[in-house]
Structure 1
Amino acid sequence: MNLLLRSNPKPWLQQHQQGHYLLSKVLGALSFSTNTQPKDSLNLRISRAGNPKVSVIPVIEQWLEEGNDIKKSHLQNLIKQLRRYRRFSHALQISQWMGDKRDYEQSPGDFAVRLDLISKVHGLEQAEEYYNSIPDHLRGSQVYGALLNCYAHKRHLEQAEATMQKMRELGLVRTLACNVMLSLYSQLGKYEKLEALVKEMEEKGFYADVYTFNIRLHAYAVTSNIEEMEKLLMKMETDYLINVDCHTYFAAANGYLKAGLIEKSLAVLNRAEQLIASMGGNSKRHAYEVLLSLYSAAGNKDGVYHVWRLCKNMGRIFNSTYICMITSLMKLDDIDGAVWISEEWISSSKLNDIRVPNTMIRAYSRKGLWEKAEAYVNKIVESGIELEASSWDHLAMGYHFAGQMTKAVETLKKAISISKPGWKPNPYTLKACLEYLEGEGNAEAAEELSKMVSEHCPV
């Protein structure tokens, strides 16, 4: 790929603004100001009704029965917040309830949001049925954009391309729709199609925003086309309309790492860190977690600990950051450091998030350090944290790798016995345990283990 998409500012500024307008509509629900909307009891009641299997509609109806009004903008904001916290089922319930009430006239944006939620909760088939029920005159850029995003999210290339073509025919294609397709092509490794769409954007004068460039940069990085990656990065850095973000440098760092250019990777990671410093909230935390992983991949232990200190300076450290730090240190064979971080988590955590100890158990087991994994499991149990099936499954894997097959069998049985519906044991560990029992001439025990799997973990 050697095309450089122009970003001549003034002729395309209006299309740039339209692209971002559509982005806010399709991917982030509708944009509603929350500056003047205080937290009220309805918001609190909805936030507390966290069980996805229990409807939140009775909460809304109770609020109305108490003599309160609910403006449409309030419901839209609730849907937006629920989507942000991935409570898609509850968001869909409110969207459907709002659509069934005659007092709330539905806009194309409301249809688009509901279409997206149906796809996430019930799948594409029901989403398509809902799309077909939307009147033609309301199927504007927002609805088509939502449908396109549904197909792209599920990686259904043929349907996505057909939707994109329909949008072309209707004159609805803007930068956002192109970005959705560029991302899909990149994910599927369809780089020739990606290049063709870039050329189409250039010919039709579509503004290339930072998302466009980042997708292309990632494609160059994945294919180790360092020369074109560097050209594009330089163009982005010198274009005053392109606000280069940390993800730009993350993509470049990955490209350099893949090519074995460690020093260049560290240089762009330093630039990423400077941009992260001005960020805030969850975005900043997530960015630091990526930075931890990339410094680890570069073999730079000092960089990992440096970012960890930056994370601690933010105040509360989330469990996901502990997991990322432990994983990064284990990749660097800094076992003592990983243990130290784990000890800090045990002493400071108020939430029994099993993902953190599971990270340690899995890392020990993969390195063949079954004795350390065993000791760590005992310590976690003594601390009062209840292990789950996957915890024991990871330990069984460690026993298997170390040839401790008797322990592997017993531990795997324990994992299966406490498993919840939908859980599956590690197939390689299970196969090794069955082969071990059969090799020992213990067909009865092998049959017993197979029976446990079929009863607790049915296919």
Structure 2
Amino acid sequence: MWALRRSANQFKIRSEHVYALRSAANLLGSSKCNEVPSGEESNHECSVQAHGYSIGRSISFAVYPGIPRGFASQVTGSADKKEENKDEGLSELDLPPEEASVSDSDINEVLDLGSEGEVSEGESQVESDFPEAEVEGDGASKRLLADIIHCSYKDVQATVDKWVGDGNDLNRKEVNYIIHQLQRGRMYGRALQVLNWLFAKKSSMFNESDHAIRLNLISRLYGITRAEKYFQTIPSEMRGYKVHQTRLVNFSRAKRVKQAEEVFNKMKIAGFTHCTFDYNALLQLYWQTNKRKISELLKKMEGENLKPDIFTYNHLIYTKGVVGDIVGMEQILETIKAEDIQIDNQTRATLARSYIRAGYLEKAEALIKELEDNATAKGESYGLKILLDLYADIGKASDVERVWNAINSFPKISHSYYVAAISAWGKLDEIEKAESMFEKMLNSGIKLASPNAYSALLGVYVKHKLFLKAKEFVKQISDNQIMIQPSTCDTIIKTYLELGDVEKADAFLLKICKLKQKRPYYRTFIAILEKYAEKGDIANAEKIFDNLTSNGYRGRLQSHECLLQAYLKAHTPAHGFKERMVAAKLRPNEKISAMLKQVNAFKKERLQSNSSDLPD
């Protein structure tokens, strides 16, 4: 088994990005979108649970069409960079960023999701945060959950107050169920408000697990800095294993290597016994930051007599498959079988996608069939969504149709199934069928609170370079007041740029930033900045750079390099540029140093030119 550690030395891999479109519960803000211009064996449990509910489980990933799949959604949460420079602590009355209202289909998806949850390729135990415990709710707790989901975002605590005021009991089990379900649906803000209500009204019930979950939610919603400030307020007797494990996950998600390693080591010094989950947190962190540390981490894990679990193996399988090391991947699979560990559908899907990328379609198809048989036998409806994607990957249109017909026989279908089907038909170049699926969804009576379906169809148009259709569809998104997700925003910006409308792309990005929703992706800003740099448009390049930094993307070499390129193209000296980088705590690399020499030469040229213009 530990031959795996030796193979980890080969993990010098190029990171890929996965851009997942989140469900409506993950939206921050509900502002109206104006019309677009014509644009996370031991003496402790290996999870952080509060009498049965776990910290956050990811559900319903609708993977962005046309984008290469990679490792999870990376470790970053919804707000790992946001509000990092704020000094204020978290007030008990301080509301998280507002979430969008949630539709009946989203509620059904939360209530009906299988116990395994749904995963996307490369997703690890750390990304879904903690292993789930079975938490069951009765009719009363389900009704309160529905009320909390349906109510205005700012009225969550008032809704719980009214429930109790109407004579309903709210016991520990019911609170556990509600918070557990809200987290499964990625409704982190509402979950935090319920915990804030519990702390204010029934503080005697508040325990270490509650503090751990609250710490996790604050990190997701406000960023790691405010989470650590909250940690300082937790009573010392409550700072046990669960709280420290949560800090480890928070730092891993925020890619804070030094702090994560410090927490990991302090847990050992404090007498806590590490479990496999703790190592998985560091494994995922090192995957993103320093792959050379993976081998040493596995060695340390072996030294503590801890065996990898299925999450560890899934991760290692992905790392091999993504670089086409099929022999290494199959060796890991044989190790899993030798350890008598049951592979899950995530493992099957990851293996199948790796075989597809490497061109082993027969092996891929055999695994897909195995996945379908397993999902059908267990009644795992979410497995069918995975099949839509996989059959599309191998060009099996008839199987996509067959699986969709099976899905269509369900008593109720949430929007996420339609999203999967739209993306699948897009992969198969069946544009009309993708559009037809979108129309069927609109006519199905589902009240969409998520832009995922719109994003899926827009992604199909952009992938196939149907930019005029994409442009018209952007207006439809605006007219229907659909919340603009960062992924949707990125696609819209790419559409404008492909059409050569840099100014409209710029104006649309500025409008999205003013809406104070989830900030656009870093790459979205860079795409526009690069266009202005190519044109030597210093004024607009500086404007985009300022917008980028004001949205929290500071201290990055790439953005400085792009901005400097604008000065180079315009043959204009960049006065004080090196000092700006020093202020941002950056040191010029070799490329930027060479560029600085070039722009400095422009200064000398201007001086010489000016002196030559002086009268004799």
Task: Report the TM-score when normalising by structure 1.
Answer: 0.75
1:61 aligned partner: 161
1:185 aligned partner: 286
Cα offset, 1:39, TM superposition? 3.8
SS in 2 for 1:317: coil
Aligned-partner Cα distance in 2 for 1:358–1:125: 32
* Aligned AA (2:327): E
Matches within 5 A, 1:120-135: 120-135=220-235
Larger CA deviation: 150-159 vs 261-270: 261-270
Query: Are 1:76 and 2:176 counterparts?
Result: yes
Larger CA deviation: 247-256 vs 19-28: 19-28
Cα offset, 1:371, TM superposition? 5.1
Matches within 5 A, 1:144-223: 144-169=244-269, 170-188=271-289, 190-223=290-323
1:84-128 CA-to-partner distances (Å, cap 9, x unmatched) read: 222222322232332345662432222211211221222211211
Cα offset, 1:235, TM superposition? 2.7
1:329-379 CA-to-partner distances (Å, cap 9, x unmatched) read: 22332223323323433433433565434433443244333455567779x
2:150 aligned partner: 48
User: Quick one: structure 1 residues 101 and 31, their matched pair in 2 at CA, closer, same or farther if it must change by over 3 Å?
Assistant: farther
Aligned-partner Cα distance in 1 for 2:511–2:243: 47
2:415 aligned partner: 319
Aligned 8 A contact 1:252 1:268 in 2: yes
Matches within 5 A, 1:249-398: 249-280=348-379, 284-285=381-382, 287-352=383-448, 354-370=451-467, 372-373=469-470, 385=480
2:46 aligned partner: 19
1:417-443 CA-to-partner distances (Å, cap 9, x unmatched) read: 7996147797699789999xx99xxx9
Aligned-partner Cα distance in 1 for 2:527–2:244: 46
Aligned 8 A contact 2:425 2:433 in 1: yes
Aligned 8 A contact 1:392 1:412 in 2: no
* Aligned AA (1:364): Y
Aligned-partner Cα distance in 2 for 1:192–1:419: 38
Query: Are 1:421 and 2:515 counterparts?
Result: yes
Cα offset, 1:246, TM superposition? 0.6
1:186-225 CA-to-partner distances (Å, cap 9, x unmatched) read: 344x333222222222232214321122122122223433
* Aligned AA (1:367): H
1:262-305 CA-to-partner distances (Å, cap 9, x unmatched) read: 33222222222222223446xx32x3333333333334434433
Larger CA deviation: 63-72 vs 141-150: 63-72
* Aligned AA (2:330): E
2:332 aligned partner: 232
Cα offset, 1:315, TM superposition? 4.2
Larger CA deviation: 319-328 vs 348-357: 348-357
Larger CA deviation: 246-255 vs 304-313: 304-313
Aligned-partner Cα distance in 2 for 1:25–1:354: 27
Larger CA deviation: 411-420 vs 268-277: 411-420
Cα offset, 1:61, TM superposition? 3.0
User: Quick one: structure 1 residues 94 and 346, their matched pair in 2 at CA, closer, same or farther if it must change by over 3 Å?
Assistant: closer
Q: 2:346 aligns with which of 247, 252, 267?
A: 247
Q: 2:206 aligns with which of 101, 106, 111?
A: 106
Aligned 8 A contact 2:467 2:499 in 1: yes
2:195 aligned partner: 95
Aligned 8 A contact 1:179 1:211 in 2: yes
Aligned-partner Cα distance in 2 for 1:389–1:46: 23
1:213-241 CA-to-partner distances (Å, cap 9, x unmatched) read: 2122122223433222101112323543x
Q: 2:136 aligns with which of 31, 34, 38?
A: 34
User: Quick one: structure 1 residues 275 and 86, their matched pair in 2 at CA, closer, same or farther if it must change by over 3 Å?
Assistant: same
User: Quick one: structure 1 residues 185 and 274, their matched pair in 2 at CA, closer, same or farther if it must change by over 3 Å?
Assistant: farther
Higher normalized contact order (CA 8 Å, seq sep 6+, divided by chain length): 2
Aligned-partner Cα distance in 2 for 1:388–1:73: 34
Aligned-partner Cα distance in 2 for 1:419–1:133: 33
1:390-444 CA-to-partner distances (Å, cap 9, x unmatched) read: 98996786576467x6xx9789979987996147797699789999xx99xxx9x
Cα offset, 1:32, TM superposition? 6.9
Looking at secondary structure, tell me which structure has more helix per residue.
1
Aligned-partner Cα distance in 1 for 2:427–2:363: 21
Cα offset, 1:148, TM superposition? 0.8
User: Quick one: structure 1 residues 31 and 358, their matched pair in 2 at CA, closer, same or farther if it must change by over 3 Å?
Assistant: closer
Aligned-partner Cα distance in 2 for 1:254–1:223: 12
Is there any run of 5+ residues in structure 2 with no aligned partner, and where?
Answer: 6-40, 56-128, 552-616
* Aligned AA (1:345): M
Aligned-partner Cα distance in 2 for 1:418–1:191: 36
Task: Report the TM-score when normalising by structure 2.
Answer: 0.58
Larger CA deviation: 263-272 vs 152-161: 263-272
Aligned 8 A contact 1:213 1:236 in 2: yes
Aligned-partner Cα distance in 1 for 2:313–2:465: 42
Aligned-partner Cα distance in 1 for 2:437–2:364: 26
